[in-house]
Amino acid sequence: MIIDISHVTWERGEDIILDDVSWQVGEREHCCLLGLNGSGKTTLLNMINGYIWPTSGKISVLGHTFGEYDLRELRKSIGWVSTSLQQKLYGSEKALQIVLSGKFSTIGVYDKLEEEDMERARALMDSLGCSSFVERTYDTLSQGERQRVLIARALMNSPKLLILDEPCTGLDIFARESLLSMIDAIAKGKDAPTLIYVTHHVEEILPCFTKTLLLKKGQVYASEATESLMTSDRMGTFFDVPVHIENRYGRYWLSVKGDAWNI
Ligand SMILES: Nc1ncnc2c1ncn2[C@@H]1O[C@H](COP(=O)(O)OP(=O)(O)OP(=O)(O)O)[C@@H](O)[C@H]1O
């Protein structure tokens, strides 16, 4: 089992941020995590990466039960691409350096690099369409270019679990589709990591994400095959708004029914 979360609750004062959450993800069972703002997605990811500890319940990631294993070691096998990571990086660093830092899961490179690390970083950048800006500083890159650099960085360590937290935020529609096709290629690759894709948008759910966890107000609303969740009825009840879901070319497209806000 890649992720095994059992009856996890996280309380902050009077507030229950995660409420009796259970979630299992098997090997290469690429999964989407969908929920509106404030539903608890980031909190759950912080927990999977061992940055916060549950008030109650049990967590095991990559077969290691929390509390019995060195989390710093565990994090080396998890690639995590998120906005908070973007904010921590040094803008003056070259894209190649940023990718190389993924080997040590550090911000900046302080350890010795081997020739094969350089080769791997360049090959990853190549496969993610970053070869034209290898030597450019991070702060000169567009949002789409930055996301690709961060994914290359996350893949440096050949992680077993790759978490992509809203990677399409701030991308235009073509940059989004281009990034999604790269993510699809990673999911289908030989020795692919298990992917967790976090989003607010059903349009971004690629066919490779066969399972979906719907999180609502800190609770698991549903965790099952994506196909069975992506119906107008179920998503309308999930969002508490009448919606229409269409499947086109294997992707789901959501529109809010015209009278939902008396438009
Ligand atoms: N340290 C904390 N102390 C108190 N409340 C917190 C803390 N961290 C998160 N919360 C609250 O928990 C709820 C869930 O937050 P979280 O960031 O996990 O949601 P999210 O689904 O990632 O939202 P978004 O899509 O907007 O990023 C929010 O109401 C947030 O204010």
- Pick the more confident residue, 31 or 82: 31
- Pick the more confident residue, 69 or 3: 3
Q: Which residues of the chain are in CATH 3.40.50.300 domains? A: 1-77+160-229
Predicted pLDDT of residue 261: 63
Both tokens of residue 171? 């991308």
Nearest CA to ligand 1 atom 2: 12
State the Cα–Cα distance between residues 256 and 176, nearest whole angstrom.
21
Predicted pLDDT of residue 29: 95
Is beta strand 56-61 parallel, antiparallel or unpaired with respect to 3-12?
Answer: antiparallel
Residue 239: name the closest of 222, 224, 263, 225 by CA.
222
Predicted confidence band at 204 (pLDDT cuts at 50, 70, 90)? very high
Predicted pLDDT of residue 145: 92
Q: Where are the beta strands (DSSP E) in the chain?
A: 3-12, 15-25, 31-34, 56-61, 64-65, 78-81, 161-165, 194-199, 211-216, 219-225, 243-248, 251-256
Ligand 1: which atom is nearest the Cα of residue 39?
A: 21
* DSSP symbols for 131-177: GGGTTSBGGGS-HHHHHHHHHHHHHTT--SEEEEESTTTT--HHHHH
Question: What is the dihedral sign for C-alpha 177, 170, 229, 239?
Answer: negative
Predicted confidence band at 224 (pLDDT cuts at 50, 70, 90)? very high
Nearest CA to ligand 1 atom 27: 37
The mean pLDDT of 30-38, rounded to a whole number, is: 95
DSSP 67: T
The superfamily (CATH) of domain 1-77+160-229 is P-loop containing nucleotide triphosphate hydrolases (3.40.50.300)
Using the mean position of ligand 1's atoms as its centre, give its distance from the Cα of residue 53 in Å.
Answer: 15
| C-beta of residue 247 within 8 angstroms of C-beta of residue 232 | no
State the Cα–Cα distance between residues 187 and 181, nearest whole angstrom.
10
Using the mean position of ligand 1's atoms as its centre, give its distance from the Cα of residue 43 in Å.
Answer: 6
What are the CA-CA distances from residue 124 to residues 5, 81, 182 (Å)? 31, 15, 11
pLDDT tens digit string along 39-58? 999 999 999 999 899 999 99
Ligand 1-lining residues (CB < 6 angstroms):
12, 15, 17, 35, 37-43
Predicted confidence band at 87 (pLDDT cuts at 50, 70, 90)? confident
Ligand 1: which atom is nearest the Cα of residue 17?
A: 12
Q: Which residues contact 232 (CB under 8 A, 6 or more apart)?
A: 242, 243, 244, 245
- In the block, tokens 């996350």 appear at 154
Nearest CA to ligand 1 atom 26: 37
